[in-house]
Amino acid sequence: MARHGGGRGWYGKVVGAALGVTVLAVGASVWTAQAESVGAASPRATASATPGAVRPVDVTIAHASDAGARGVNITIDDGPDPAWTPQVLDLLREYGVKATFCVTGTQAQAHPDLVKDVVAAGHRLCDHTVSHDTAMDRKSEAYQSREILDAERMIIEASGGVRPMYYRAPGGAFTPYSRKLAASHGMRPLGWNVDTKDFERPGADAIVATVERELSNGPTLLFHDAGGDRSQTVEALRRVLPWLRDQGYSFGFPVR
């Protein structure tokens, strides 16, 4: 869930020099369709990654959509959860929307079938750390490294070999070190522009109103599919997704 009000308080943390880290190669299968196409069908396995095959990405925090100026990014945090993730997946499928799922290592390890369902539907994965520690920006670099890299490994194992393409710090608790580390593993740091505050369960009407009011802030919307009762999120998405399309928006993924 978000830690900073409106999802904006962490912007000031992205400045400063970052410590260099060595790229750690992880052998795993990758899915071409997931990485290359917003509207692709179920991903297809390609050859296993070879040592050194992971390409570093930009260390800056991404907000823009690869769908262009009228694109929006639906991002779903904290899962997967056996009660709510299937309902979110059903809605996304109903409206033909691809989303980015920011999963925690513990949830991925507990529910690997759901991680595979996310991938099979053409959605992208994001590393949301092992334990969702919103104070990790105040912890040691060794701790940050364990949280990010252990979660990456757990997600790859749960997904059957699919790498997370982004890294979202819990509560926006990014540091120059964590951004550099994630980027060196091919995971673009991922922010948000619209914090729906759905984790507070303010009611579906309030969640929808927040999206309508704050969409001008930017294209990346933050929702949650775990961490408690997410029935309000499901109802809000049922209304938000067609509304966005009616307003002339298209659905994309965060830029890499």
pLDDT in tens, 82-112: 999 999 999 999 999 999 999 999 999 999 9
Mean predicted confidence (pLDDT) in 251-256: 98
DSSP 135: T
**What's CA 233's distance to the chain center, in Å?**
16
Q: Is the pLDDT of residue 3 over 70?
A: no
Phi, psi of 216, deg, nearest 5? -65, -15
- Which one is catalytic: 4, 77, 137, 195? 77
Residue with the bigger pLDDT between 51 and 123: it is 123
Looking at residue 85, its pLDDT comes to: 98
- Which one is catalytic: 111, 128, 132, 224? 224
Mean pLDDT of the chain: 85
Task: Report residue 53's pLDDT band, with 50, 70 and 90 as the boundaries.
Answer: confident
pTM for the whole thing?
A: 0.81
Task: Report residue 133's pLDDT band, with 50, 70 and 90 as the boundaries.
Answer: very high
Looking at residue 27, its pLDDT comes to: 34
d(CA 188, CA 195): 19
Q: Is 20 exposed, middle or buried (0-12, 13-18, 19+ CB in 10 A)?
A: exposed
Q: State the number of CA atoms in the 13 A half-sphere of 130 facing the CB.
A: 12
Residue with the bigger pLDDT between 43 and 84: it is 84
Q: Note if 224 is an active site residue.
A: yes
